[in-house]
Amino acid sequence: MQQIKDNEDVASLTELLGTAWQARWRIVLATSLIVVASVAASLHMAQYKSEGFFQFGGAIPMPAEKKLDANEKDPASGIALADYKRYAAAFGTVERFADFVKYNKLEDTPGIDQMRKVFIVRGGIDNVVEPVYPFSKLDAKELEQPRDGSNTNVIGLRLSFESGSPQNAQRIVGLLGRFIMDSIVYLSYEDALRVKAAEMNAKITKLENYIIDVNHLLEENQRKGESLKQVVARYPDSMQNARQLVSVTEENARYLSPITQLMTSEVRIVELKEIINKAKRNRQQAVVLREYYDKARAFMNQTRSGEVIVRGLETIKDGVFKGKDLNDDTIKEVYNTISIENQNALSLYLEKSRFIAGPSLPERRSTRLSSVILTSGLLGLLFSVILVFGSKWWRENRQKMGS
C-alpha cells in the first residue's frame, strides 16, 4: 500500500511539473510583465529620504541672568524632558503648523501638502522627529553616570522626511527644524512674558507697601531723635557718660545715656533713608520693566511666530526707553539688562540652535531597485504558477460543475 501511495505522489508531482513546463512561456511572460510593472511603479513613486540633526544651543527656556559674583553652575544644555513633552504636544498639532505656514507664506512651497499629512495622522510627527539625549541607558551604565537626572535633557532632534524629490525632502527637513524651533521659542516667550508682567505688578505693590512701612519707622525714629535732643539740652551732664562701655540688649538699651541713644537714633535714621532710597530705586526699575513686558506681551498677541517675537523685542525696548534719561544709572541699568537678555535670546534661539548635520540631499531612493525586482519576481512567479494551475483546474472541472 505504501508503494502504491508513493507511486501516486510521484505521478502527481510529475504531472504538476509537466503542466508547469508546458505553460513555461506564459509563466515567464506573466512574471516579466509583473516585474516591469513593479519597476515602473517604483521609478514613478520613488521616495528619497533626507535626514538632519538639529542641536539646541543651550539651556531652553533661557535661564535668568546670573549675578556677576554668583557661584551657581550653568544649567544643563538642552530642554528638560517635562518641558519638551509640553512643547512637543504643541508643535505636533496641525493647527500650529497651519499657522506657521500661513504666517510665513509657505502655501506654495513644494512638499508642504505632503508634510501637512504628517500632522493629520495621529502620532505622525513621531515618525519624523526623534529626540536625542546626552546618554542612552547603555551609555550611562558604561560611563557610570550618576542618577541625578542630568542625562534626561533633550539636547537635539533627529529629523527625517521622505519625498518624491531629493530637493523636496531636503527642503522639508530644513523647514521642519525651523518650524519646531519657532514653536519652542513662541511657547517659551508666551509663558515668560505673561509671568514676568504679573511678577512686576506684584513687585511694585510689595515695594510700595515696604516703602510705607519704612517711612513709618523713619518718622518714628525722627520723633524719637527730636525728643532726645530736648533731653540732652536739659541734661548737658549726660555727655560725660557717653563713652561708657555697656552690653546693650533690647531691655536695657533705654538706660543708656541720652546722647548715646540720640546717636543711635540718628544712625538708624540714616539707615532707613538708604533703605527707602533703594526701595524707590527698585520700584522705579520695576515700573519700567512692567511697561516693557506689557508692550512685549501685546506684541506677542499680534503674531504666532517665535522668531518674529525675538527679533521684535529690540524695537519694543527702543520704544519704551525713548524719551527716558539714559544718563540716569537707574534707567540705564534696566536698559542694559534688557539688551543683554535680548542679545542672549538671539544667540541661543536663532544662532546656536541650528542644524549641525544635514539636512542631507539624498542621492539614492529609500527602496533599492534590486529589492523591487527580486520581490516582484518572486511574487510574479508565484502568481503566474497559481494562475496556470487554476486555469487547468477550471478547464477540467467546468463540465462536471455544469452537469
**What would the DSSP string read from start to end of 94-161?**
HHHHHHHHHHTT-TTSTTHHHHHHHHHSTTGGGGTEEEE-S--HHHHHHHT--SSSTT-SB-EEEEEE
CB atoms within 10 A of CB 104: 17
Nearest-angstrom CA–CA distance, 356 and 156 = 10
Residue 90: all three cell numbers together: 504643541
Give the pLDDT score at 240.
54
Residue 52 belongs to what H/E stretch? strand 48-55
Nearest-angstrom CA–CA distance, 172 and 165 = 11
Ranges in the chain, pLDDT < 70: 1-24, 27, 35-46, 65-74, 136-151, 235-258, 365-373, 376-377, 380-381, 388-389, 392-403
- How many Å is the maximal CA-CA distance in the chain? 146
Chain centre distance of CA 377:
48
Angle between helices 166-234 and 112-120 (to 10 degrees): 70
Q: Which residues pair with 248 in a beta bridge?
A: none
Chain centre distance of CA 332:
32
Rounded to two decimals, what is the model's pTM? Answer: 0.72
Nearest-angstrom CA–CA distance, 199 and 282 = 13
Give the pLDDT score at 344.
92
Chain centre distance of CA 28:
57
Q: Which residues pair with 53 in a beta bridge?
A: 158, 357
Q: Give which of 353, 368, 373, 354 is closest to 49, Cα–Cα.
A: 368
Quick one: DSSP state of residue 65? Answer: P
Give the pLDDT score at 4.
43
Give the pLDDT score at 342.
93
Are 342 and 314 in contact by the 8 Å Cβ rule? The answer is: yes
**First and final CA of the chain: distance in angstroms?**
34
Nearest-angstrom CA–CA distance, 310 and 54 = 19
